[in-house]
Chains A and B, each alone.
Chain A
């Protein structure tokens, strides 16, 4: 089976789920974060036989990593609203998040995107690290600065690389492909290199195109792009990669 793992509120993921099903991936199961935290029965093992999980959802479906053929993973957090107000709520949050990090690690490739120690569906990086990585990948980057005396409070607000209101375009990398904009080959290659450097095959990259010389310049990146920006061509390639790269198992 193939899996779409996402929040029930993730409109982009739900769109992709329908589109990928329509392309013939079967069985393709939608598993939301909410299903996994409310009434699911968990069995996750690690040991001499490797790491495995078997989760029984409230609707009776059983998800077992041994039968997973490919995954689109869009989890960003573990929703535990149903436990809010309980005395050990914060402890439960930490425990569930640690569990999610681990069971997601058992999922086989192809997976877009796999868990990393900095994020459930790929590493969430600070703006400074994205700028640094983008420059290494060969993208033109704006000068970046931050200091102890900045007005921003990053506990409340995400730091942006370009000023708010700057027009940007989003492209989405998927392996050796770039969707969403028709980029010059050198820029497209640099975007693919950035995805490779950050080990996030499905990566949204924000770019500006503008003065002084009409150059594409890096403006941000995310492991959770709005997949709809890649349109049908992105879904075609995603379906192809999920199918062609699925694990071959002895029956």
Chain B
């Protein structure tokens, strides 16, 4: 039995559900917005977790679940809870419900897409870059500083430079312009991340267990996710095949970070150097699947089913 946790109308969730239907897999849906009808308990005895999950009017032993897909949103932002006071019993109940679910998923023997702890490396891009480098990828030359003089020297050395957040917050990549340089003294109050721009082809690689789906992205924008806003054109996506060695590197990277499912952002230079910018532990794969027809959701469904 597979447990799907999240908001059923969210596209990635819906695609995985469709794929499970197509496979004829047995699954139950935990609709996060219907939290008030659910109950969950977790016991750990002698290192073995057990417990019950009640939802949709049925009761399940958590041992029944051999695959778990979690795409939970922060429950504070659920429409049913967003106006609740901080000491609301509903908020407390919801917090305890999803905490129990998450704690079980962290230690369960089920196939979990994805556990919370391994997702932590994505909180800090340069931290994650240090891990990425161990798997054989190039990482862009990066400077994090609150010293404007160092930024000027970095820009003089590398020419085109981009800046972006160090954490996952406000993570839109922008080219450092002359106009930006007139405000560069603002970095004194908070260190900022700058990177040498890497020329080449953007490739998003989704890994699902051992399976690999690579998508090339053609765009003139600095950050292809915001192509229309930055360049006025939409990015063009097409499936590409990776060499066996590169595909293996991607799988090794994902599994090394503890991620059953990941979206890896690469740039392949004309000289065939492979730069890795980020490993996204909760990729919005539906965008790539809808543009290319790559069966990513089918692979997730297969993985959850143990195949």
Using a CB–CB cutoff of 8 Å, the interface residues on chain A facing chain B are 41-48, 50-51, 83, 86, 88, 91-92, 94-99, 101-102, 105-106, 115-118, 123, 126, 128-129, 131-132, 134-136, 141, 143-150, 152-155
B1 interface residue per 8 A CB criterion? no
Cα-based distance from A126 to B135 in the complex (angstroms): 29
Beta-carbon contact of B142 and A47 below 8 Å? yes
The digit string for B75-100, where 1 denotes a CB below 8 A from any CB of A, is 00000000000000000110111011
Cα-based distance from A139 to B124 in the complex (angstroms): 34
Among B43, B107, B123, B191, contact of A44 (Cβ-Cβ < 8 Å): B191
Interface size on B, as a range, is 35 or more
Q: A47-B140, A95-B167, A102-B124 are in contact. Are A117 and B44 (CB under 8 A)?
A: no
B41 interface residue per 8 A CB criterion? yes
Contacts of B170 in A (CB 8 A): 91
Beta-carbon contact of A51 and B146 below 8 Å? no
Cα-based distance from A50 to B167 in the complex (angstroms): 20
B268 interface residue per 8 A CB criterion? no
Cα-based distance from A115 to B139 in the complex (angstroms): 20
Cβ-closest chain A residue relative to B190: A92
Cβ-closest chain B residue relative to A90: B169
Using a CB–CB cutoff of 8 Å, the interface residues on chain B facing chain A are 38-47, 49, 51, 92-93, 95-97, 99-100, 103-104, 106-107, 117-118, 120-121, 123-127, 129-130, 133, 138-147, 150, 165-170, 189-192, 196
Beta-carbon contact of A154 and B41 below 8 Å? no
Cα-based distance from A199 to B124 in the complex (angstroms): 20
The contact sample of 9 A-B pairs, CB cut-off 8 A, is A43-B147, A44-B145, A45-B144, A51-B126, A98-B168, A101-B124, A136-B47, A147-B39, A147-B51
Contacts of A152 in B (CB 8 A): 96
Q: A51-B130, A99-B166 are in contact. Are A145 and B43 (CB under 8 A)?
A: yes
Contacts of B143 in A (CB 8 A): 43-45
Among B44, B51, B95, B117, contact of A118 (Cβ-Cβ < 8 Å): B117
Beta-carbon contact of B167 and A98 below 8 Å? yes
Contacts of B196 in A (CB 8 A): 47
Contacts of A47 in B (CB 8 A): 139-142, 196
Cβ-closest chain B residue relative to A56: B147
Contacts of A126 in B (CB 8 A): 103, 106
Contacts of A134 in B (CB 8 A): 47
